[in-house]
Amino acid sequence: MARPLQLVPPSSLPPAHRRADDFGFDLAYTEQVMPVMEWLYRSYFRVETEGMENVPGAGRGLLVSNHGGVVPWDGAMVRTAIRLEHPARRHARMLVLDWAFSVPFLSQFLLRTGNVLAHPDNAIRLLNQDELVGVFPEGAKAATKGIRSAYQVSRFGRGGFVQVALRTGAPIVPVAVVGAEETHPVLADFSPFARRFGLPAFPITPTFPWLGPLGAIPLPSKWLISFGEPIPTAELGAEAAEDPSLVLDLGERVRNWIQQELLRLLPLRRTPFG
């Protein structure tokens, strides 16, 4: 299990970063990079959304999404959708796997724009602060889905996100994302190389590693994002998190909704890129 993210004491940050919160989220910096994210959202990926009214306008909420693509553009686009399209213009806090925080420069960018190391303790802390938190229960394995497995939602493990929601009373908002899996279509996973260098995977795509750093540029796929009706958890009580049957049932309910929604959304695109 990944370690919880160490909080960042403001006194230890350079002066320009001291406006950040305990996790390093710098609101002013994030607003400065929003024009780039908006261009990607509106012009490059041409994102369309449904069900934005299902995202809480205030208070805590746990966004649970399918995952795809080598680079986590899905988290970025879900966040951008809420910031641009939701009347409350909220900033969602996405949980990111620990390997991304070991990449030079990327780590600081992720922290300053509000992303947090994926760990239940971090999710609980943020939800107890009435934040919107985004999770991707399929984990790192989703990044190496082959073309034949595209948009087939993997099992959600032991339902850790359900336990987090129950312990905090946060409603679960299922999210279905179409488009991410075409940004970096995975042809193969060179797992021996990944294990040698401590990476969760080493996917081979049509552009990576053949084009070097340019291979990290996503293909301009057409995106659709749908937010489902919230599933309330507060009335179940925190003790319900210890009921394996209930946790499994709720997890499967969320996964099934996402899978069925993906099957509905996919035919709405003429092609994956238009």
pLDDT at 198: 62
Closest of 208, 178, 203, 206 to residue 191, by C-alpha? 203
pLDDT at 12: 45
Mean pLDDT across the stretch 170-178?
98
pLDDT of 94 above 70:
yes
φ, ψ for residue 169, nearest 5 deg: 70, 20
% of the chain with per-residue pLDDT over 70: 87
Beta carbons within 8 Å of 148's beta carbon, 6+ residues apart = none
Distance, CA of 91 to chain centre: 13
CATH classification at residue 44? 3.40.1130.10
Q: How confident is the model at residue 113 (pLDDT cuts 50, 70, 90)?
A: very high
Task: List pLDDT tens digits, range 232-272.
Answer: 999 999 999 999 999 999 999 999 999 999 999 999 999 99
> Is residue 38 one of the residues assigned to a domain?
yes
pLDDT of 1 above 60:
no
pLDDT at 13: 46
Contact between 236 and 170 under an 8 Å Cβ cutoff? The reply is no
Contact between 95 and 6 under an 8 Å Cβ cutoff? The reply is no
pLDDT of 2 above 50:
no
C-alpha 114/C-alpha 92 separation (Å) is 8
* CB atoms inside a 10 Å sphere around CB 46: 16
Amino acid at site 263: L
pLDDT at 86: 98
Q: Is 38 helix (H, G, I), strand (E, B) or coil?
A: helix
Q: How confident is the model at residue 190 (pLDDT cuts 50, 70, 90)?
A: low
pLDDT at 139: 81
> Is residue 247 one of the residues assigned to a domain?
yes
* CB atoms inside a 10 Å sphere around CB 5: 22
Global confidence as pTM:
0.89
Q: Which domain holds residue 248?
A: 26-268
Tokens of 5: 């993210």
What integer best gives the mean pLDDT of the chain? 88
pLDDT of 212 above 80:
no
E-strand stretches of 188-259:
188-189, 203-204, 224-227
Q: How many domains does the chain have?
A: 1
pLDDT of 99 above 80:
no
> Is residue 14 one of the residues assigned to a domain?
no
> Is residue 21 one of the residues assigned to a domain?
no
> Is residue 178 one of the residues assigned to a domain?
yes
> Is residue 231 one of the residues assigned to a domain?
yes
DSSP state of 186: B
> Is residue 3 one of the residues assigned to a domain?
no
Distance, CA of 249 to chain centre: 22
Higher pLDDT, residue 145 or 219: 219
Higher pLDDT, residue 188 or 118: 118
Beta carbons within 8 Å of 265's beta carbon, 6+ residues apart = 176, 178, 224, 226
pLDDT at 145: 76
> Is residue 148 one of the residues assigned to a domain?
yes
Mean pLDDT across the stretch 27-55?
97
* CB atoms inside a 10 Å sphere around CB 197: 7
Q: Is 173 helix (H, G, I), strand (E, B) or coil?
A: strand
Mean pLDDT across the stretch 185-212?
70
Closest of 159, 154, 131, 103 to residue 21, by C-alpha? 131
